[in-house]
Amino acid sequence: MLVPNGRVIMISGANRGIGSAIAKRLNAAGYRLSLGARDLSSLATLTDEWNTKNFLKAHYEAEDVASHRTWIDKTVNKFGRLDGLINNAGMAARVTVEDADDGTLDRMWEVNVKGPLSMVREALPHLRRSGAGRVVNIASLAGKIVYDAGIGYSMTKFAAVALSHATRHAGWADGVRCTALCPGYVATDMTQAIESFPRKDMTKPEDIAEVVTTVLALSNSASIAEVTINCRDEPMV
Ligand SMILES: NC(=O)c1ccc[n+]([C@@H]2O[C@H](COP(=O)([O-])OP(=O)(O)OC[C@H]3O[C@@H](n4cnc5c(N)ncnc54)[C@H](OP(=O)(O)O)[C@@H]3O)[C@@H](O)[C@H]2O)c1
């Protein structure tokens, strides 16, 4: 098992939902954190009582590639190292097979796939130097199962799973391990409008944070490539 103390982890979309739960859990575990968000003021309450030596806040906009390199540079300048990247920021919009709304689909590609890919590219040299670098992509069960004709989000999350496997291959020889985390419904803002399934039975963001903490702590010889998390009985591929 890896000891958290001293290790530096970046989390995108750390300001709310799953990202915020991961940040709280990793801070409690003793990691040093680099928190990425579109609006830095939205991170204020999260870090209110944290020791400023142990965290950094930086601008992360998935659709602005320049912000990716700047965030990584700030992180390495402050902490002198980088040990983990949690690609969490994401968006969900309904695009069906017969919709001609490529604008929404293109945005989802930028946020759910191209942003994370760019972050992996920028982070890999530093993660290799760590000797035990970790990447966790918050994909989705929609990246494992196609539920209906709503193909847009699912396509991007299948791609996020593919990115995870490719990252594992790219970094393996240098100790980088990558996990695709694939939850079903999680009780966050993203699922606020879901009426077909009771909110009280959705997975809690804190449970996702617990899984991330475990995956980060496992040694190089115990890599978990994919984690699927169900809150209901559903068929798996
Ligand atoms: N909730 C679920 O049921 C569920 C299930 C499976 C997977 N996931 C995945 O889990 C991840 C987190 O989702 P969540 O449930 O915590 O959703 P959420 O509460 O809606 O939070 C989404 C996060 O992504 C950030 N974000 C959105 N667009 C962005 C952009 N263009 N650039 C940078 N950041 C952006 C948001 O920032 P702002 O606050 O600035 O908008 C926010 O921090 C996503 O990748 C999602 O697809 C969620």
Tell the burial category of 215 from Cβ atoms under 10 Å away from its Cβ (0-12, 13-18, 19+). buried
Whether the predicted pLDDT of 237 surpasses 70: no
Q: Which tens digits make up the pLDDT trace of 99-109?
A: 987 999 999 99
Q: How far is the CA of 210 from the centre of ligand 1 (A)?
A: 18
Q: Whose CA is nearest to atom 46 of ligand 1?
A: 90
Q: Is the CB of 191 under 6 A from ligand 1?
A: yes
φ/ψ of 138, rounded to 5, equals: -80, 95
Give the residue-averaged pLDDT of 162-178: 98
**Domains of the chain and any CATH numbers:** 8-229 (3.40.50.720)
Sheet holding 177-183, edge to edge: 55-59, 32-37, 8-12, 84-87, 134-138, 177-183, 226-229
Q: Is the CB of 67 under 6 A from ligand 1?
A: no
Q: Which tens digits make up the pLDDT trace of 68-88?
A: 999 999 999 999 999 999 999
State yes or no: is 153 an active-site residue.
yes
**Would you put residue 223 in left (φ > 0), alpha (ψ -120 to 50) or beta?**
beta
- Residue 63 CA: nearest ligand 1 atom is 31
CA 54/CA 58 separation, integer angstroms: 14
Q: Where are the alpha helices (DSSP H) in the chain?
A: 17-29, 44-47, 65-79, 102-109, 115-130, 151-171, 205-217
Say what the pLDDT of residue 4 is.
93
Compute how many other C-beta atoms are within 10 angstroms of the C-beta atom of residue 183: 22
**Would you put residue 186 in left (φ > 0), alpha (ψ -120 to 50) or beta?**
beta
The one-character DSSP state at 93 is: -
User: Confidence band (pLDDT; 50, 70, 90) for 235?
Assistant: confident
In sequence order, which residues have a C-beta less than 8 Å from that of residue 190 and are 6 or more positions away?
A: 17, 92
Whether the predicted pLDDT of 174 surpasses 90: yes
Give the residue-averaged pLDDT of 12-34: 98
Distances (CA, A) of 119 to 31, 56, 89, 235: 20, 17, 11, 32
Say what the pLDDT of residue 100 is.
81
Give the residue-averaged pLDDT of 215-232: 98
Q: Is the CB of 138 under 6 A from ligand 1?
A: yes
Q: Which tens digits make up the pLDDT trace of 181-195?
A: 999 999 999 999 999
Q: Whose CA is nearest to atom 20 of ligand 1?
A: 190
Compute how many other C-beta atoms are within 10 angstroms of the C-beta atom of residue 55: 22
Give the residue-averaged pLDDT of 168-178: 98
Give the residue-averaged pLDDT of 206-214: 98
Residue 15 near residue 21 (C-beta atoms within 8 A): no
Say what the pLDDT of residue 101 is.
79
Q: How far is the CA of 91 from the centre of ligand 1 (A)?
A: 5
Name the catalytic one among 31, 60, 147, 153. 153
Whole-number CA gyration radius for the chain: 17
- Residue 203 CA: nearest ligand 1 atom is 3
Q: Is the CB of 76 under 6 A from ligand 1?
A: no
In sequence order, which residues have a C-beta less than 8 Å from that of residue 173 and are 6 or more positions away?
A: none
Percent of the chain with pLDDT strictly greater than 70? 100
